[in-house]
Amino acid sequence: MKQKNYSFYKISFWFLFCILVLSTFPTLKNHTRKYEKLNHIEELYGLILNNYQDSISEDSLILFLRDGLLNNLDPHTFYISEEELKRVNEDFSGDFYGIGVQFSIIRDTVMVIKVIDDGPSDRAHILAGDRIILVDGQKFTGEDMNNTVVMNTLRGKRGEKVELTIFRKNKELKKTLYRGAIPLNSLEASYLIANNIGYLKLEKFSATTYDEFKEAISDLKKKGAKKLILDLRNNGGGYLNQAVDVTNEFLEGNLEIVSTEGEHRKKTIHYSNNKGVFKNGDLVVLIDEGSASASEILAGAIQDHDRGYIIGNKSFGKGLVQEQIPLIDGSALRMTVSKYYTPSGRCIQKPYHLSDTIVSAEEFKTKGGRIVFSEGGITPDYVVISDTMSDFESNFWNKNYNVLYEKAFDFADNNRVQLENNYKIFLHNSRDIIWLEMIRLSGDDISKEKMLEFKNNFITLFENMVLSHILLTDDLIYYYNKDDEYLKKALEILLI
């Protein structure tokens, strides 16, 4: 009896196994069909490698094939080499390990522009204006110097020792540092711009953006902010989840923030949770043509729910979601996997190529019934027309930019104490000196006469360059904002 039962179970097992195999056969067959055309690529690869009239390496041929494949997809799908990947990941992780300086390369020499408070360089008493001439005994000047070389050399592992030789006021000084964590803040500025109006500027949406935002908004509320200007100009985006979390702080509960869907990705809808800390205060969001992706998700949700006003210029128009997929050789593929849609259903992706046209500017409605469009970007509720350079100003500035940048650094370096003490008074008293320096670059008398028409503009631009070598980022933004047309419009609306 036991033998009979055993035989029965054995036969049953193999019967079910056969059914399972046969049921998956179409899938296996389809999987094989999906990739069978790769034989064509393999054939071409072998023919070119073994028959092309010039010598061509396998690495080069793989590069050609990879670039040819990716260049025919959307512009936001691209390959990231192993070396580039490290820098990309650092930029959005919120910190990296380095020596804690902002630098600029002037006349083939690395100049320290700013020293980060309580960083390795600050503790080693390195100062703004110092020239780094040797790193670990190796020459660190010359025509080969560029930003990539500098960052790859000065960044490294946590606690790693680095020996610097710096040049300061005709003296060489040796400094020993140990690399430490250097924050890469996405919050560039936060302050009260009026009695009860806070101002907050986000440069990107990195892994730490939401935490930075929560801390800043809490501080502004403690100072009396009941209204807010959120500046997303030139914010190129970043992590989707960070944009969702920040947007959530402005919305009542159970409201759609954004949805995503792709050919191989199921539709996902993100909703607000009613736990936001700024659900009721008046809100203005500033955008421009540099506001993209995650910035547009936030602006789109605010606009579609009639939660606040969008002010500025039409945004970039990036309605695609990417995933970064690691490859076996340590590199990565950043690939578009889905599109995102604002709460009203808009996909605001613009055409990939200049020759493409938008098929239709489809109408959508906000929560309050206002008509908005899906036409390659978020169109503001209030468009701000900023003053632009004349052709003469633009040509002069572009032609002389490198020289002016060096002159601005020299001016800042030679007058650092006076500028740090009171830059407003010192710059005001130096306007004639600055003007003479700029006139010397004008060339002929006709150009000098033409320059007089734009004297104040030229001096202001040069002063901005000088202050970029003196002020920390938040102080610099505060200075720039004093004459900002976008902010004037925002304040006009919020002060009504």
Residues serving a catalytic function are 293, 304, 318
On the CB side of 434, CA atoms within 13 Å amount to 25
**Which residues does residue 39 pair with via DSSP β-bridges, in sequence order?**
none
